[in-house]
Every structure is written in C-alpha cells, then in structure tokens.
Amino acid sequence: MRAYTPQNKPSAAEIQVEPRFNNTIDLTGLSSDRYYPVWWRFPHNDSGANPWLTIHRNYAKNRGDKNPFGKDVTHLAGLLLQMEGGDTRWGGDAQYLNIKRIRQTYRNTVKNIRYAMMSIARPIDDKYPLYEGVKSGDIVQSPVFSGCYLRGGLTYHVTSNFSDIHYSREDGEVEAHQSIQPYNNFEIKWMVKSYAIDDPQLGSEYDDTVLPYAHDYAETINLAKNAYPKTGGKIEGKVDVTSDIEATGWIGGKELWERKPNGEWVRAYTPQNKPSAADIGALPITGGQVAGNVDATGWVGGKELWERKSDGGWVRAYTPQNKPSAAEIQVEPRFNNTIDLTGLSSDRYYPVWWRFPHNDSGANPWLTIHRNYAKNRGDKNPFGKDVTHLAGLLLQMEGGDTRWGGDAQYLNIKRIRQTYRNTVKNIRYAMMSIARPIDDKYPLYEGVKSGDIVQSPVFSGCYLRGGLTYHVTSNFSDIHYSREDGEVEAHQSIQPYNNFEIKWMVKSYAIDDPQLGSEYDDTVLPYAHDYAETINLAKNAYPKTGGKIEGKVDVTSDIEATGWIGGKELWERRTDGSWVRAATLDDITANKSTAQKEPNGWWKCGDTGMIIQWGVVHGRSGTTNVSLPIPFPTTGAMAVGTVYKAIHYGDDDVSSSVMLVDNSTLRVTIDYNLPTAWIAIGY
C-alpha cells in the first residue's frame, strides 16, 4: 500500500477530516467603481454537515498594485464574509444561506449577497418560453446557484469546504448557467454582469456582524481583536517565535533559513538551493550497501516505514494502515455513519442515540443527521412506486456532556429543515426510554416502575422514520440505532452503593403514537444577523405582559378585553364617520338630577337644567310676598296657586292665587284664611 506523500496526498475522506479549498478572485486592473459577479452552488444534504464559504481580503492587499484607490492610499479595503448554506432553490434538501459574519474595513467591497443569485434572463435558442414566463432582459433570481457582487480593482480569497467557485472580470454579460427542458416547455440562460457602484440593483450596504453567537458578547471579544485568524491572512510586521512552529500545511518564503547553535544562520535546502551529494553524504546512484541512511528518488517499501527523530528515537510514518489522528495533525475530526432503515415500515419511527462529549474533548461537539430528498427512490419504494420526491432532512445539533455529567449540559437544534415528508420526532437531550430491571436485586433508579417512560441521563437521541436511509456526520463517534420494532437495550447501570439498578430500553413507535410528541417547525436561521430586523422590531414591540404605548394606535378590527379598557377620554365613531364622546361615570354623576324633598322644596333636571318648585303658604286672608326655596338662575317661567285643602261644593268663590314677582320672589293671595298651595317653573 503506497504511503501518503506530497505527490500522493490522502483525500479528506480517507483521513476523516473536513476538506478545505482555496481560490483567488483576481479583479485587479478593473474599475473600483464597479462590482463584479461571483457565484457558487452550496452542496446538498448528502455532502455532509454545514457547507461553508468565506470570502476574505487583507486591508493592505494590492497596495502599490495598480493603485485602485490612488497612489498614496495604504489602507485599501478589508473584508471578512463568512457564510453557511445548503442546496439550491431547485434542490429538495435544506435550502438556506446564512451570513455568519461580515466585516468591511476602510471601504465597502461586497453587495447583493443572495441565496438565489441576481441574474439576467436570456433565451438559448428561442424554441421555448423562458422559465417562469419572464422576458429576455428581466432581472431574476437563479434557482441553481448563489452568489454576490465584489468591488473591482482588488484581489479576494475564497476559503470553503466545497469547490466550484466562479467569477467574471467582464463588464458585459457572461453566462453563469443554462437549462433547456422541452418536457417542461421552457429554456433559459442565467447571465451575470458587472454593475456601477451606485446602481440600485445592487441594493443597500451591509452592516457589520462579527458576533454570531451569544457567548461572543463577552470578554473573549477583547482577546480576539488582536488575534491572528485561523483562516489565514497577512502579518504586516516581524514575527518572533520563542518555541516551535508546527504547521499541517506548507511554510514558504523568499528563502528559508535556520539558526545554528552558535547563532549563525544557514540557508535551508530547496529546489533553488540544492545540496550537493557531499553536503548530505548521499549514496552514489550506482547503488551499493550503506550502514547509514538511504535517500531514494523512487518509492521505498517495507512492512512499516519509520523516521528517526532528532533525539535518536523513531517515529512511524503515516500510511493508510497507520492513519494520523485528528489531534496529531491539528484538524477537527469528522465521522460519517449511515443509518439504514430501508425495508422497515415508513409508518413507524425508530430510535437513534448518542453521547455528546464532555468539556475535555474540546470546543463545540456537533452532530448532523441528513438525507437527500431523492435518496431511496426506486429502493423498495417506501412511499409508493411513482413517488420521486421522498423526504429531505437536515438536522444540525450542538451539545455537550450528559445529564449525569458535570460539564456544560445542553442540546441545541441549530437548524432543522424537513422537505416533502417529516422524518424526525422527539429530539431529547435525555433520550426517551423505557425503564426495566437488570436482576431485580435493587429498586429501579429514581423509584420508577418497570415499563415507565423515562428520560435517560446517559445519552441523547431522537426517533427517525422507517423505510429510509440517513447519514450522520459529526465530530465525535459512537452513534447507535435500532431496526427492531420491539425493545432493545441502550444502556444499563447497577450501583449497589446507591441502592439502584436500571436498564434503559428503546423501541420503535407508530407514526401517530402520542409518546413521539408533535412535529417540528423548520428553523434554518440560527444567527443573530438573520434576525437583525426582527430584533429591532421587537425592541419597540408592545409586550404581552402589558406596558405603555407612546403613540397612536389604529385598529382595523375589534378589540376584545377580559379586563377594563381606560383612557383620558373614550370616543365612538358614528355611522356618518364623525366621533362622539362616550359618557363616563363623572359625566353621568355631573348630569344627575337633584331635589330638596321638603314641604317647600324643589327638583332640578340634570340634563336640561329645568327647575320645579312647590310650597304652601299659611296665614290670614290677604296678599303677601314669600321667597322661593331657591332662586331661578335664569328666569322664572310661570307659577300657579290654589286653595290648599278641598272646600265644599258651592263655596268655590275662594280667590287664592300666586304670581312671580322676580326669579326669587312669589306673591301669594290667601282667601277665607285657607292655606294657598303653589307650583313655580323656571330655569
């Protein structure tokens, strides 16, 4: 088996690491007052977890290189644009583009970042209508690639975990992609071109977002400001290193030198500075037997390959039989597993379980369960022979430790997207399990009974729909699943010193079993940048718990309240569109009618102000003036009077009478010494 060398490099899959691709976008010599197109396709679910792409440039890059902003400009433009995404608009898997971080310094350099790239529609052969009925020259969004526009005159670098990045240096239109589908009766070419810096098609500038995670808003940001990014870049000054430099890639420079023990420098051997045979004590090319080292221009084979270290010891060379660990070459490990539930009922859900590593394993354990929407098409036909779009799933999770652990305990769903059919239920940090005894020597853990549904403190998990194939990509191993309908053991624990035993069993469940819980809503926007506008709206939102509204509220429908509604004034719109003020308790009290209920008394109307007064005047026959109980505020309208008591028929020549003298005085005539009763009306 051939050893890995710079000429026979291992693939990322062979050594279980994430691939990394580096590309350069050269827009030097072009106008810095124009923006030029860059486009790509995010991989679908089968490619693994979390496709990402970073466009970056050092602020001083291109200094003195055609001087895009003038000869004396030293600080040109810095850019860091980190994105994550999945699939294309025409795909069937999780479709998203998230801006994880964006930071532009000195000058803005990126515009119009789109999941569906802004393009121009053109025909191919004019045999069919254009896709979606658009016209030639229309600005459209392409369903087959994502992209953005970068400022001309500069060099940019693209680092990603997938390949196939494209760009154009042309001012005019160039073809990004084309599609002709006679069976769907359409054709189209998606063209891209450069735009003037102030063209409204490019949209507005982007605000900086460099803190995608909540924990980043802590002291760490101050430490990171002066840190050298792991993604690479340019160091402007001199670097003094007091210890070793260990790199998983190559180290290059104009010349490479090594300091000798006496402090002098000696130049390293390179193809430009080749050593002589004498320098290195080389074996003659004619061959022979040597007691020392062997330097070969061909391959060297053996049972094992070893290299002597500087301390005299030996270290074995890496080969496919002796693969380096992720820690040895300083990369993040990546494990790929397949969950095969084909042939099982698509009306049942089957258990999958794992343990998140604890803090000692390093930062951010993650796990992604994914499947392409068309996977298993024609493979036992889980949803019927003619079904071509089966079910897509992207479930990205981050977590740490177990319920019985002592470190950070969490399971966060970063993204979840299910297409065509739902395929996952009951995602739990503590896996839903069934309690069973081991030997019946001790009580079950936490006093539960055999058969109880419990949450296991030793593993996390979920339930996946049967009949399908799923892929699991993670940075830790030890993923388990069951194809059985009945119970299988996931884990057991017996602790005599704590007086308990337990087996945590798992099994499959019918699709509508209430134990599986409800379906999940899609979430493909995990970062703060995606919710910036929503957050700003929420800051000024009226809380459900109540509060104070500063401005005017227009309601086009009803307001229904279980409590009281109050305000300075309450008004009701009449049918003619005008407003009338509603009466309040104060209004009602203010207009209340009042009275003095006495023999000589009065009554006043609260609405109209009318007053009715009454009384009886006793005395001897004659005419006299009496005061009204209260004066009329404005005028006395009339007064009437008669004898107070009934008299015998025939004796009706009594001349009792009254008249108003003024608003407060009444003239009363008494006859036959009989009392005179009177009533006066006024206001």
The CATH number assigned to the domain holding 668 equals 2.60.40.3940
- Whether residue 500 is found in the same domain as residue 625: no
481 with 627, same domain: the answer is no
Between 217 and 186, residue with greater pLDDT: 186
| Residue 277 located in a structural domain | no
Residues in the chain: 683
- pLDDT on residue 567: 72
Residue 300 lies in a domain: no
Residues 518 and 599 in one domain: no
Q: What is the pLDDT confidence band of residue 278, given thresholds at 50, 70 and 90?
A: low
Q: Are residues 365 and 497 in the same domain?
A: yes
CA-CA distance, 547 to 328, in Å (whole number)? 58
pLDDT band at 217 (very low <50, low <70, confident <90, very high): very low
pLDDT of residue 324: 86
CB 97 within 8 A of CB 115: yes
Is position 155 within any domain? yes
Q: 481-527, pLDDT tens digit by residue?
A: 999 999 999 999 999 999 999 999 999 999 999 999 999 999 888 87
The amino acid at 513: D
pLDDT of residue 26: 97
**Position of tokens 């602790």?**
495
- Work out the average pLDDT over 308-333: 83
Same domain, 405 and 521: yes
Q: Where do we find the tokens 């209920």? A: 597
Structural domain including 169 reads 21-217
- Asked whether residue 474 is assigned to any structural domain, the reply reads yes
pLDDT digits (tens, 9 = 90+) for 326-368: 777 878 889 999 999 999 999 999 999 999 998 887 668 999 9
CA–CA separation, 130 vs 651, rounded Å? 115
Q: Which of 512, 358, 517 is nearest to 432 (CA)?
A: 517
The answer to the question of residue 404 being in a domain is yes
Residue 526 sits in the same domain as residue 413: yes
- pLDDT tens digits along 378-406: 878 899 989 999 999 999 999 999 999 99
Containing 328, the helix (H) or strand (E) segment is none
Same domain, 530 and 598: no
> Where is the domain boundary, 485, 518, 534?
534
Q: How far apart are CA 20 and CA 170, in angstroms?
A: 28
Residue 223 lies in a domain: no
Residue that finishes a domain, picked among 159, 187, 217: 217
Give the integer Cα–Cα distance in Å for 159 and 352: 34
Mean pLDDT of 627-654: 85
**Are the CB atoms for 78 and 62 separated by under 8 Å?**
no
Per-residue pLDDT for 224 more than 60? no
What mean pLDDT do residues 101-127 have? 97
Least confident of 86-100, 359-373, 430-444: 359-373
Single out the residue in 515, 534, 553 at which a domain terminates: 534
Q: Examine the domain organization and report whether 344 and 467 are in the same domain.
A: yes
Is 89 part of a structural domain of the chain? yes
Domain co-membership, 27 together with 103: yes
Higher pLDDT, 396 or 313: 396
Same domain, yes or no, for 75 and 153?
yes
Q: What is the pLDDT of residue 218?
A: 46
Question: Do residue 70 and residue 212 come from a single domain?
Answer: yes
Number of domains in the chain: 3
Are 522 and 617 contained in the same domain?
no
In a domain, 148, yes or no: yes
